[in-house]
Amino acid sequence: MTTYLLPDCHPFGHEIHRSFDEFGPLQVFDDGNKRYLSFGTADEQSCQLKQQPLQLQHDYLRAMLAVTCQLPGAELQPGHATVLGLGGGLLAAKLWQLLPAWQIQAVELRPAVVRIARQYFALPRDTRLQVEVDSAQHFVNQAVARQQSTGLLFSDLYLADGLSAEQQQQEFLQQCGRYVSDDGWLVLNLWKEHKAEGHILQQLQHDFSTVLQATTHDGNWLIWASRRPAREKQAARQQCKQLQPQLGFNPWSYAKQFYRHRS
């Protein structure tokens, strides 16, 4: 039996929830202004502004969502997006709000995380936002076997000790490539240390004709990949300007970084 030593005091504020599953602790903290999800470490898995719960707080999430500058008018057309790794559900919830004609599918390994996202982070209960408890690899494999596809695939797979090894595996990346539609985009969240693992970019460049990357101030390494060319810089910038009121931040401040590192 594993014993977890959790501090009585925490920099995230007052603890309002603590539970355990086979993967370890799950804690929710509230400092009066923000709410945090933690997997028993000093790192926050999710951060939500209580007064504006759908306003993304982390730079890496904003950089991931800025990929919508590649989809002009997408909010008006039916589509499908998949989020691998739920956390507090903030990315899935923002997609649900931003793309009202889209079906949003979230996949989470831990049932307890799903319960916490709904109870403490107000994950919307709506027919357009479905949550499935499954491993990311199994879910994607099944989707590919059923010849399903998705227009946006976000992979953000983290455990208490860091990035899930699943997200770095060649087979997983290959299957993600098969699951993304021909005009869709794959978005990966990794750490900058993984840049040295050349197989990740090699696999993506094999499966996609467009691979864009950027690194956040916090050290997240983000990749956008597609079989279609990226929009021209000026067109993407204009799309970001149109999206800014709905997003609640300036997406071009994140999207422009991807245009500096074309692969």
Are 200 and 194 in contact by the 8 Å Cβ rule? The answer is: yes
Could you tell me the sign of the dihedral formed by the alpha carbons of 211, 162, 219, 17, in that order? positive
Whether the CA torsion 227, 65, 97, 144 is positive or negative: it is: positive
Q: In angstroms, rounded to a whole number, what is the distance separating the alpha carbons of residues 158 and 10? A: 21
- Per CATH, the homologous superfamily of domain 59-258 is Vaccinia Virus protein VP39 (3.40.50.150)
Burial class (CB in 10 A: 0-12, 13-18, 19+), 145: exposed
pLDDT recorded at residue 74: 74
Question: Are the C-beta atoms of 26 and 37 separated by less than 8 Å?
Answer: yes
- Tell me the pLDDT tens digit for each residue of 196-248: 878 999 999 999 999 999 999 989 999 999 999 999 999 999 999 999 999 99
Residue 262's pLDDT is 57
State residue 244 phi and psi, 5-degree precision.
Answer: -55, -45
Number of residues that this document lists for the chain:
263
In this prediction, residue 196 carries a pLDDT of 80
Report the run of H or E that residue 153 belongs to, with start and end. Answer: strand 150-155
Spans of all domains in the chain: 14-49, 59-258
Q: Closest Cα to residue 26, out of 7, 40, 42?
A: 40
Residue 76 has a pLDDT of 74
| Global confidence as pTM | 0.93
Q: Residue ranges of the chain with pLDDT lower than 70?
A: 1-10, 261-263
pLDDT for res 195? 84
Read off the tokens for 174: 């290959």
